[in-house]
Structure 1
Amino acid sequence: MGRHKAGPFGQSNHKHKTGGHRPKGTINKESRGRKISQQGSVSGSIGTKLSKDARKCKASQIRRRKVEADSKVKESLGRDDKPPVLVSLVTLGGTTPANELIQHLSTVDETITSTKLGLAQYFRIPRLKMRLGFLSPSTEILEDVLNSLKVTDVVCLVWPMSGELSPKEELLISSMLAHGIPTTINLVFNNEKQLSAKQRDLQWNNLKKTIGRYSIPMEKLLKMETPSDGLKLLRLLVDCKKKKLLVQQRHAHMLVERLSTDNANENKGVCTLLASGYVRGLAWNVNNLVHLPGLGEFQVSQIYRHEDPITVKGNEKPIDQNGQLVAEAQPTKQESLQAEIIPDPNEGEQILLDEDLKRKEEDLFVAPEKKKLPKGTSSYQAAWILESDEEEREGSEDEDEDEENEDQDSEADQINDDVDLKSGDESDVAEEREPMEDDVAETELGDDENNEIDMDEAAEFSRQRQNERWPDEIDTPMDTPAHIRFQKYRGLKSFKNSPWDANENLPYNYARIFKFHNFNKTKKNVLKNSKHDEVGETVLPGKFITLRIEAVPISYLATIREEAPLVLYSLLPHEQKMSVVNMVIRKHPSCKTPILNNSELLFYVGFRKFEAQALFSQHGLGDKFKMERYLPTTGPCVATVFAPITYPPATVLVFHKTPDGNQQLAATGLLLDNNPDRIVLKRIVLSGHPFKINKRSAIVRYMFFSRDDVEWFKPVELHTPSGRRGHIKMAIGTHGHMKCRFDQQLNAQDAVMMNLYKRVFPKWSYSAYLSNDRPKTTTSKKEVVAAMEE
């Protein structure tokens, strides 16, 4: 029978002797991912847990540090030699106007004195030894509300007791939350006293639920019924914890209280702008550039300091016109206005096509014949379709030109999006398949000329739905060889792992931008050095100063509205330089309009506002990203634009201009990075039909229409929607038939597809001169810079 041997379940090995100490495995199991500092004792030895007294001591130290940090923030606001606490009052639901609320607060204490300075109403409160300033931006203008949020310390939302808001006010709250709001206090003013106590308590609880539904941080919810409630509100505004926005913590900024001009030059159209106000945030460095909203960056020559016009003691003094010169810019240390690089055309290896080569390429294209229109097409639709066909032919010619200038892959790609989605010709698609329900959306509108805008929207909706059904799928043109039509595209073995050189065939615009060798290290050094400026070149926060901003266009004053808050920002190093900015955005639920790739959009990025055409791409991991033809309705995507450098994190708001001229909130998100090496690939999918299948082999047609095209694309891998992979074995005949072999047998209902990729770049369309704010003048930014140099 043999000798019995113990099995694995019966044997009992001796435990390893660890010498009286715990092994590393036991220590890791007990720590469960916590840091060693929390597991060690007071002396720092590993292996012994903190005692009860040590834990209490450590908790008290952490609590003491937080209290000290909060006290520093409180001491930096409201008192003399400190900027006054600025409060923004936003009234919702048609409640009492903000002006009446400010007037009511001024009467809650006899010692309060009120002074109007610029747009803000300032209170001196001797009892609290503080100064408060109130702003009341109009809720009808979203830009005014956002500008006030950037400079205020506390936001006071005045709610109606019913809690019912209009759709426009709901959009306003959504925009404020996406932009970022500082410390928030919720308030109910002028409560209805005719209701019973039970009804008022019920409304009060419903209002709390409404505020929670909007995800608004509810620090406090106060009632304003008696003067004591008003005094309680003032105490809360003074003593509450101030949570500043990141843009307020990183930049020196100023709410302009007084604005004037000096040294106006009518011939050159420039002047010296004098802006006065309190310094907030960091110390203001005279050598740094200043950002004027809607215009751009300019240099500051001098800073004058004035006596504080509003003091807690009440010693009111008029603002002296001259002031005391406290800082003057030094040419050796002053930041340059250079925003882009002027490339040398003799450097680099990029080749520009001459006119003869362009004519040769244009000769390869033959204009397609006009097809018959579908039945039921109106006269307006016929004209619209014919015009679109002409644009498509012009777009295809522009796309095949290899010009490496600022218009490369911009207009052609935008027009060819429609060409790809409509398979090269709308009439061809109409003849090959019957119109579906979604496709006849625009024919149902009839011949009414008043529905012109609706016709365009319906056509855009139809294209977006086609792109969702058949993403990136197009038909090979029959009148143009495929290897010429798609000569810029290439195949990839693996979209994730196949290499793609980020510096290959860059356009001319990439020679104009700046790129950092190590952006994260540069950002860390800039933010660290911004808090340690030299004495004699900076002005501390809380001082009332006047900035002399040089070479500002005279026409800029005509674009400033008196009731709009004007906020100036001091730029950090390199923030005036152009680069490629990537932003992660998500379409807002209120936006139902399809937004095409490379559409003109309005961006609010941090403290900047500019117009640009964004390039949409997928957001994910890897080094290559597929282009999106439309802004996705669900999920995030990345918008890439040419814009000045901005250090993340920063909030992003995207607005789309409607045909009637209004601005619609399209998307919200955050700044991702400043990376010109982001590779965005445009994909096209060529499809064919297998009409003879023999096990793993199949004969495919309708993908190409010439033998040369089959031989040209022979190395590219094929695939099917069911997951089959294959290659082209040989060409059959002269009409584009080809024999293919796959890894498994094909299904008769499968379609054979081929993916081709081409790198696309954003279009240089950045404009700080906004169309709504841009003055009608011939003075350009180049002329302003030239005048500054003189």
Structure 2
Amino acid sequence: MAMASKHRASALKQQNKKHKVLGHRTKGQLSKVNKGRVAISAQSRRAKKEMSREQRKNQMKQIRSQKRDEAMSQKRSVGTANNPPFLVTIVPLSPDINPRKVVSALTSCDPEATTTTSAQGIVHLSSMRYKQRFSFIIPPVNDLYAILDSVKVSNTLMLLWPPRDEVEDAAELVLSSIMAQALPATIHIAASMDDMAHKATSGVPEEMDTGSLDEELSSRLVLGPSPAKKSNRKMQMRQRVVKEIESRFPGNAKLFTLESDQDAMLILRHIGSQKQRSIFFKDNRPHMMAEKVEFEEKGPTGTLKVYGYVRGQPLSVNGLVHVPGWGDFQMSHTYLLEDPHPLERRGKNATMTNDEPQLIEEADPEHQETLVSTNEVDPMEGEQTWPTQEELEEAEENVKPKPRTKRVPKGTSEYQAAWILDSEDPEGANYDDKYDYKEDMDALEKLRAARDDAEFPDEIDTPKDIPSRIRFQKYRGLQSFRTSAWTPMKNLPLIIREIFQFKNFFHSKKRILKEEREGAMPGWYIIVHIQDVPRHLYDSQVTSQAPLVIFGLLPHEQKMSVMNIVIKSHSLGHYRPIKSKERLIFHVGFRRFANSPIFSEHSTGNKHKFARFFHPGTTVVASMFAPITFPPVSVLMFRERPDGAQDLVGTGSLYDMNPKRIVVKRVVLSGFPFKINRKSAVIRHMFFNREDILWFKPVELRTKWGRRGHIKEALGTHGHMKCYFDGQLKAQDTILLNLYKRMFPKWTFDPHAARPPPLYTFRTSGKEADSSDEENEENQPAKKARVVQFHNSGL
């Protein structure tokens, strides 16, 4: 019997790697090296594991108690005796609703409550039943800025809804702006629908004269519909309003009515027990709603004396205050007054007290914040030399005005020629002079440029009148937009030296918010003396009759830097593209200013592509020079029309304050294949001279069909060039050359933004009137023709 052959492994047998024992230590060896030391993570896990069940239950109980106490303290920090009252802003969503009837119903529902009115028209209600205080303010219903300023410092927003299927365009703008700015605790009130339900059921317009109808129809209009039909119609209207509220305020669609004193008491109770919404820019800064304003003139400027309750955080006199639309100012003194609207009863319709004010703080020049917003730059910094005498004389010659020539009839003397007008139209101006043809042509060119940019991104025609190496001398090529290096502190403009930047922005913000603050405490009724206020700002506030609010600034918030904000297109007013560097109106938290930003893509990485246009339905980052503001802060962006009206074109939030953000503009030069070989081709129409081809020879070429290549040599003198690619080109392909340049915003910051025109036009006795006028025939008989008629009033 033959012996079986021994199995031999093949040379292709898999050889597994052996376990590496070099450097491996056992648990015993590790314990000897550590000598009893244990890592922090291991200690925390061991301590958590060693806690008993009772200890864990006790720990959770303490956490719940702590959160409950924080919620109760936050709720009791407003409305009680030693805290500022609930500030309620009442905003009607239709000019047909009279908000003063709402205030009257709320102040008269409790006979034991005390009602007072401040000089600025704020109605205060002190209720001993609820042991709470309420302040009601009605901003002018046709002034968008007044409404937004009031909501910024309010605890509760009261919206008065009309019984309609849809809100008006002006009310849509108000709602969208409030919700994008920062929405406080909200309560919804429905107007009384009795009259409007009757009109809707009868089907007869309000202006129709019933005297021309027959007696049966007239009597039917006088008596109205049946109670059952009227109740059914009223219920249908209420359901429509609730459905509209649910679509805008998910989870907060409870609708209140004001048909009795019990309804008014229920509304007051809801305001007092409602959960307050936290708003960062309001809760972390001191702010005030002016109860009374006085101006003491001192030359071209004066001292503005503002009376009101301190809210939010303590107000220090050595800090700075910001008035929306006015700018930043310093304070000189703060005085404490006795609370003119106390919780205890002082009799019905009590008047304000006039006790002597007590000095709280006086500004210390050594510790007071300065209004310096830019960095002082040494003009001799860097390598600079004084100009020579020859250079100064040459500059004077260049700035001298050149003599102007004028065509005159032959034989006219110089004296006679001076009397000849430049205009050749003897009849003067006509209707075409009032038509701004240039403005229309500019708008048309912008629309065409935006359409071309959307269809052919960044592609431009190569100039023929100037060499490309001169036209694009500030541009450079990149191997890869994402990975190629770009030094952020290289080739900076001179204006960058005047702004401020943080070594670590978010670390500085965290440190500033943790600092302990001193000054007038929240809940105190004080007088703030704001110095060096221009007279015209105070006059404009008196004319507009808008509420005045002030905000205390955090450290460094008066200094200028580069602000980057994320803006999302808003469908309400963004109906055409917006070009970069176009003047826009911004509402950044508590600030309001005008600026001309540059747009860039909202992307990751260290470089961001410049956007020539902000197209509808997109999201961009707007960069501009603006005062430092610590986020999170909401942003509203408005575009100003030629007639002064403003459209809400975008909403968003503050991204960061970073001057090192690299915004890169791309320029694409295109050419077309003239003769195609296997891997080479002759390209034309990208350049028009030999020198430009040699200048841009190192830059890589790309095609729309994904080919890559480079310039080999120039052919002739008219811009033809031979190029090599990684594959054969198609005849319909387009060759592209990408060039890049860093973009910087322009210094166009303007703290004074013009107010938009009124939102509504009211019907009056023969004339149009503003909503801020009040019905007071005894005190203002001369203004009787301008009294606003709240027609179809639902309250």
Tell me, yes or no, whether TM beats 0.5.
Answer: yes
1:346-357 matches, cutoff 5 A: 346-348=380-382
* Structure with max Cα Rg: 2
Matched, 1:762 2:763: no
Match of 2:541 in 1: 560
1:194-228 per-residue CA deviation (whole Å, 9 max, x = no partner) reads 55555544444433321122245516322322211
Instruction: Find the residue that maps to 2:517 and give its secondary structure.
Output: coil
Q: What are the superposed Cα offsets for residues 633-685 of structure 1, whole Å, 9 maximum, x if unpaired?
A: 22211101100000011000111111111111111110000000011111111
Residue in 2 that maps onto 1:748: 731
Change over 3 Å in CA distance of 1:40–1:92 after alignment to 2: farther
Structure 1 CA distance for aligned equivalents of residues 191 and 7 of structure 2 = 94
Q: Is the 8 A contact 1:94 1:160 kept in 2?
A: no
Identical positions, percent: 39
Instruction: Name the structure 2 match of 1:185.
Output: 187
Helix, strand or coil: the match of 1:459?
helix
Instruction: Return the offset for 1:715.
Output: 0.3
1:479 aligns with 2:480: no
Q: 1:623 — aligned with what?
A: 606
Match of 1:338, SS?
coil
Bigger drift between 152-161 and 691-700 goes to 152-161
Query: Would the aligned equivalents of 2:245 and 2:253 in 1 still touch at CA under 8 Å?
Result: no
2:557 match: 575
How far does the alpha carbon of each residue in 1:143-177 deviate from its partner, in whole angstroms, 9 at most, with x for none? 11110111110111122233421122122211111
Task: Provide the rounded CA distance (Å) in 1 between the counterparts of 2:434 and 2:536.
Answer: 43
Residue by residue over 1:485-514, the C-alpha shift from the partner in whole angstroms, topping out at 9 and shown as x without a partner, is 111111111111111111111111111101
- For each residue in 1:274-293, what CA deviation from the matched residue of structure 2 results, as whole angstroms up to 9, or x when unmatched? 11111011111111111122
| Residues 308 and 544 in structure 1, CA contact (< 8 A), matched pair in contact too | yes
Distance 2:123 2:298 in 1: 35
Q: CA deviation at 1:630?
A: 0.8
Q: For residue 86 of structure 1, what is the aligned residue in structure 2? A: 87
Residues 447-456 or 464-473, more deviating: 447-456
**TM-score, normalised to structure 1's length?**
0.77
Q: Which residue of 1 aligns with 2:252?
A: 218
Q: Does 1:242 align with 2:276?
A: yes
- Determine helix, strand or coil for the equivalent of 1:623: coil
What's the CA shift for 1:133? Answer: 0.5
Contact between 2:113 and 2:345, CA under 8 Å: does it hold in 1?
no
Matched, 1:533 2:517: yes
Q: C-alpha separation between the residues in 2 aligned to 1:286 and 1:721?
A: 63
Match of 1:67 in 2: 68
**Partner letter of residue 542 of structure 1?**
G
The within-5 A match list for 1:644-683 is 644-683=627-666
Shift in Å at residue 748 of structure 1?
0.6
Please state if 1:732 is matched with 2:715.
yes
- Whether the aligned pair in 2 keeps the contact of 1:183 and 1:244 (CA below 8 Å) is no
Aligned AA (2:357): G
Partner of 1:12: none
Separation of aligned partners in 2, 1:494 and 1:653: 35
User: What is the aligned partner in structure 2 of residue 548 from structure 1?
Assistant: 529
Match of residue 168 from structure 1: 170
Counterpart of 2:339 in structure 1 is: 308
Shift of 1:517: 1.2
Please report how far the alpha carbon of residue 772 of structure 1 lies from its aligned counterpart in structure 2 after TM superposition.
5.0
Which position in structure 1 is the counterpart of 2:624? Answer: 641
Q: Is the 8 A contact 1:93 1:164 kept in 2?
A: no
Contact 1:714–1:729 under 8 Å retained in 2: yes
SS at match of 2:692: helix
Which residue does the alignment assign to 2:446? 460
Give secondary structure in 2 for the equivalent of 1:280.
coil
The 2-side partners of 1:688 and 1:278 are apart by: 68
- In structure 2, relative to structure 1, the CA distance for the partners of 1:723 and 1:714 (3 Å cut) is same
3-state SS of paired residue (2:368): coil
1:320 paired to 2:341:
no
1:372 matched to which residue of 2? none
Cα distance change, pair 358–493 in 1 and its aligned pair in 2 (3 A) = farther
From the superposition, tell whether residues 207 and 54 of structure 1 become closer, same or farther in structure 2 (CA, over 3 Å): farther
1:273 matched to 2:304: yes
* Alpha-carbon distance in 2 for matches of 1:703, 1:351: 42
Q: 1:477 to 1:352 in 2, by over 3 A?
A: farther
Secondary structure of the equivalent of 1:464? helix
In the superposition, relative to structure 1, how do residues 350 and 603 fare at CA in structure 2: closer, same or farther (>3 Å)?
Answer: farther
Cα deviation code 1:529-581 (max 9, x no counterpart): 1xx124xxx01111111111111112221111453111101111000000000
Measured at CA, do residues 304 and 521 of structure 1 come closer, stay the same or move farther in structure 2, by a change above 3 Å? same
**CA distance in structure 1 between the partners assigned to 2:122 and 2:251 by the alignment:** 25
CA distance in 1, matches of 2:161, 2:55: 47
Match of 1:26 in 2: none
Please identify, of 152-161 and 231-240, the stretch whose mean Cα deviation from structure 2 is larger: 152-161
Counterpart residue number, 1:419: none
Given that residues 150 and 245 in structure 1 are in contact (C-alpha distance below 8 angstroms), is that contact kept between their aligned partners in structure 2? Answer: no
CA-to-partner distance for each residue in 1:723-767, whole Å, 9 max, x for gaps? 111111111111111111111211110010101111111000111
Question: Does the alignment pair 1:585 with 2:586?
Answer: no
- Amino acid across the alignment from 1:618: E
> Does structure 1 residue 139 correspond to structure 2 residue 123?
no
Tell me the amino acid that sits aligned with residue 651 of structure 1: S
Take 1:227 and 1:109, find their aligned partners in 2: how far apart are those partners? 8
Q: Deviations over 1:175-196 (max 9, x none)?
A: 1111111111122131338555
**In the aligned structure 2, how far is the partner of 1:351 from the partner of 1:76?**
63
- The answer as to 2:48 corresponding to 1:44 is yes
- Residues 217 and 87 (structure 1), Cα distance of their counterparts in 2 relative to 1, 3 Å cut: farther
Contact 2:331 2:363 in 1 (8 A): yes
- The letter of the residue matching 2:750 is S
User: For residue 588 of structure 1, what is the amino acid of its counterpart?
Assistant: H
Tell me the distance in 2 between the aligned counterparts of 1:465 and 1:683: 17
Q: Over the residues paired in the alignment, what is the CA RMSD in angstroms?
A: 3.6
**Unmatched segments (≥5 aa) in structure 2:** 14-25, 27-40, 198-226, 399-431, 757-795
Structure scoring higher RCO (CA < 8 A, sep ≥ 6) equals 2
Question: What 5-or-longer segments of structure 1 have no aligned partner?
Answer: 9-18, 20-35, 362-445, 774-790
1:256-305, CA deviations, whole angstroms, 9 ceiling, x for partnerless residues?
A: 1111122x333xx1111111111011111111111122222111111111
Amino acid corresponding to residue 211 of structure 1 in structure 2: I
Stretch deviating more after TM superposition (184-193 or 755-764): 184-193
How far apart are residue 450 of structure 1 and its match?
Answer: 8.5
What secondary structure does 1:704 align onto? coil
What is the distance in 1 between the residues matched to 2:283 and 2:177?
21
Whole-angstrom distance in 2 between the partners of 1:3 and 1:95: 102
**What SS does the corresponding residue of 1:247 show, helix, strand or coil?**
helix
Residues 113-148 of structure 1: CA deviation (Å, up to 9, x unaligned): 321112311111111111101112233221111101
CA contact (8 A) 1:350 1:505 kept: no
Q: AA paired with 1:705?
A: F
- Does the C-alpha gap of structure 1 residues 219 and 287 become closer, same or farther in structure 2, counting only changes over 3 Å? farther
How many residues are aligned here? 659
State the 1:322 CA deviation.
Answer: 4.7
Structure 2 vs 1, CA of residues 333 and 448 (structure 1 numbering), >3 Å: closer, same or farther?
A: closer
Question: Does the CA contact (< 8 Å) of 1:191 and 1:225 recur in 2?
Answer: no
Give the counterpart of 2:491 among 492, 505, 519. 505
> Is 1:121 aligned with 2:123?
yes
Contact 2:587 2:593 in 1 (8 A): yes
- Paired with 2:353 and 2:290, the residues of 1 have a C-alpha distance of 14
1:228-377 paired onto structure 2 within 5 Å: 228-262=262-296, 264-266=297-299, 269-315=300-346, 318-320=352-354, 322-348=356-382
SS at match of 2:445: helix
Paired residues for 1:588-599 under 5 Å: 588-590=570-572, 591-599=574-582
What secondary structure is seen at the aligned counterpart in 1 of 2:648? strand
Residues 477 and 699 in structure 2, CA contact (< 8 A), matched pair in contact too: yes
Q: Determine the C-alpha separation between the residues in 1 that align with 2:595 and 2:436.
A: 30
Deviations 1:83-106 (A, max 9, x none): 111111111245531101111112
